[in-house]
Amino acid sequence: MLKELQLSLLVILLLSCGFLYQLTLKSSCLFSCLPPHKSQQGPEALLGKGRSIVFLETSERTEPSPLVSCAVESAAKVYPEQPVVFFMKGLNSSMQLPPNSTYPAFSLLSAIDNVFLIPLDMKSLFEDTPLSSWYTQINASAERNWLHVSSDASRLAIIWKYGGVYMDTDVISIRPIPEETFWPAQASRYSNGVFGFPPPATPFLWQCMENFVEHYNSYIWGNQGPDLMTRMLRVWCKLEDFQELSDLRCLNVSFLHPQRFYPISYPEWRRYYEVWSPEPSFNDSYALHLWNYMNQEGKGVVRGSNTLVENLYRKHCPRTYRDLIRGPEGLVAGESGTGNK
Ligand SMILES: *[C@@H]1O[C@H](CO)[C@@H](O)[C@H](O)[C@H]1NC(C)=O
Ligand SMILES: *[C@@H]1O[C@H](CO)[C@@H](O)[C@H](O)[C@H]1NC(C)=O
Ligand SMILES: *[C@@H]1O[C@H](CO)[C@@H](O)[C@H](O)[C@H]1NC(C)=O
Ligand SMILES: *[C@@H]1O[C@H](CO)[C@@H](O)[C@H](O)[C@H]1NC(C)=O
Ligand SMILES: *[C@@H]1O[C@H](CO)[C@@H](O)[C@H](O)[C@H]1NC(C)=O
């Protein structure tokens, strides 16, 4: 009788050990700190650790263009242990995900372990920031450049709230950015196409949002974007000119040399769609900004063309290349999108 009791106690003990083990496996980050369940992640859970890579789509579009898909996939590849969060205005929480047969890029990105496609709800995003009063007073459908202006605002608010790295959807990541707090230079100005700040909320970004509202003018192109950054950084830091290829530093922020993200400058953007011999190594760059805004003529990537951009896709976003890039007959539709300049 006593033996039987001991035996059943042992069995119970073993069972509960197994159960506890399962539980710890599920809840701790034994192998990776990525959130275990992809589906019901709110922004807080995903972005809370401040290590996310953030992309934005401020139009209603839910099927990303090949370039957007490449940007997101390449970031997921370069930062496999970090969540890559793609905020889309066209998604909302009650909506079912689009079926994957008709949305190949959407399903390609959803299938990547560390990519999360979540709704962009500007009203709640801007709450508790200087942008809130501006946003509630504005009539979005009457604003000039609204897709870009709302993207400029959203990126400031997201990185202020959660920390992390913001990237435009026409930036192809090629190697990790070794800095946590950085701002890139583009010629003599500062761009807002890529930037990173760790949490907690930095006063610099708060002041950027205040300045955004104070000087808001959607008729001036870039006034809320690169111009805002250049205005603000001049107030905070006396920066000298870059010497050769080295970066600058001021107040714990690294100001990255134009080579890091803009090795091909915007007047030269067509070079990405040309055949090079030999190809540039981009050894001094972390990511490449493809200047999609300049691409009004809708140049795309053609399989077998051996252009620089085709080879970049093949190497840095192989799934996008495999699934979305056609040969010369089936030209991919014009690569447009927003959140990228
Ligand atoms: C979510 O999307 C559906 C379908 O597009 C729409 O009917 C609904 O009003 C949206 N809900 C919100 C809260 O935006
Ligand atoms: C499409 O969806 C099905 C079922 O939802 C899934 O098994 C399949 O892997 C998906 N395909 C792609 C390319 O994501
Ligand atoms: C917003 O702007 C649009 C386009 O100019 C106009 O039709 C609409 O009436 C405006 N809405 C409000 C609430 O003012
Ligand atoms: C710079 O960073 C260090 C260490 O993270 C911190 O102690 C210091 O306060 C920071 N300085 C400024 C001006 O933010
Ligand atoms: C770029 O880096 C690779 C690997 O570090 C090296 O093999 C190559 O020679 C470098 N190219 C140039 C042009 O510096």
Q: How far is CA 226 from CA 184, 188, 261, in A?
A: 10, 11, 14
- Ligand 2 atom 14: residue of nearest CA: 107
Ligand 4 and 251: CB distance under 6 A: yes
User: Which positions ≥6 away from 38 have C-beta within 8 Å?
Assistant: 110, 113, 116
pLDDT of residue 50: 86
Residue identified by tokens 């809840």 is 27
Between CA 290 and CA 293, with CA 291 as vertex, the angle to 5 degrees is: 140
pLDDT of residue 253: 87
- Ligand 1 atom 10: residue of nearest CA: 92
How many angstroms does the Cα of residue 283 sit away from the middle of ligand 5? 6
- Smallest CA-to-CA distance from 292 within 122, 81, 67, 75 is with 67
Return the exposure string of 175-205: e unless at least 16 CB atoms fall within 10 Å of the residue's CB, then b.
Answer: eebebbbbbbbbeeebbbbbbbbbbeebebb
Neighbour tally for 142: CB within 10 Å: 8
Ligand 1 and 95: CB distance under 6 A: yes
User: What is the pTM for the complete model shown?
Assistant: 0.81
Ligand 3 and 137: CB distance under 6 A: no
Ligand 3 and 283: CB distance under 6 A: no
Ligand 1 and 6: CB distance under 6 A: no
Taking the CA of residue 251 as reference, the ligand 4 atom at the shortest distance is 13
Residues 325, 313: contact at Cβ < 8 Å? yes
Domains annotated for the chain, with CATH where assigned, are 31-330 (3.90.550)
pLDDT of residue 189: 76
How many angstroms does the Cα of residue 112 sit away from the middle of ligand 5? 30
Residues 54, 155: contact at Cβ < 8 Å? yes
C-alpha span between 316 and 232 (Å, rounded): 34
- Helix/strand/coil (H, E, C) string of the chain? CHHHHHHHHHHHHHHHHHHHHHHHHHHCCCCCCCCCCCCCCCHHHHHCCCCCEEEEECCCCCCCCHHHHHHHHHHHHHCCCCCEEEEECCCCCCCCCCCCCCCHHHHHHHCCCCEEEEECCHHHHHCCCCHHHHHHHCCHHHCCCHHHHHHHHHHHHHHHHHCEEEECCCEEECCCCCCCCEEEEECCEECCCEEEECCCCCHHHHHHHHHHHHCCCCCCCCCCCHHHHHHHHHHHCCCCCCCCCCCEEECCEEEECHHHCCCCCHHHHHHHHCCCCCCCCCCCCCEEECCHHHCCCCCCCCCCCCCHHHHHHHHHCHHHHHHHCCCCCCCCCCCCCCCCC
Please choose from 135, 136, 138, 141 the residue to mutate so as to test ligand 3's pocket, defined by most ligand atoms within 8 A of CB: 141
- Ligand 4 atom 10: residue of nearest CA: 252
C-alpha span between 77 and 174 (Å, rounded): 9
How many angstroms does the Cα of residue 252 sit away from the middle of ligand 4? 6
- Smallest CA-to-CA distance from 150 within 90, 80, 237 is with 90
2, HSE (Cβ side, Cα atoms, 13 Å): 0
How many angstroms does the Cα of residue 141 sit away from the middle of ligand 3? 7
Please choose from 61, 62, 89, 92 the residue to mutate so as to test ligand 1's pocket, defined by most ligand atoms within 8 A of CB: 92
Task: List the pLDDT tens digit at each of the 341 positions of the chain.
Answer: 566 767 676 656 555 655 545 544 444 444 444 555 565 567 788 888 889 999 999 999 989 999 999 999 999 999 999 999 999 999 876 555 666 667 899 999 999 999 999 999 999 999 999 999 999 999 999 888 899 999 999 999 999 999 999 999 999 999 999 999 998 887 777 888 999 999 887 888 999 999 999 999 888 878 888 888 888 888 888 878 888 888 998 888 899 999 999 999 989 999 999 999 999 999 999 999 999 989 999 899 999 999 999 999 999 999 999 999 987 765 554 444 444 44
Please choose from 61, 94, 122 the residue to mutate so as to test ligand 1's pocket, defined by most ligand atoms within 8 A of CB: 94
C-alpha span between 341 and 327 (Å, rounded): 27
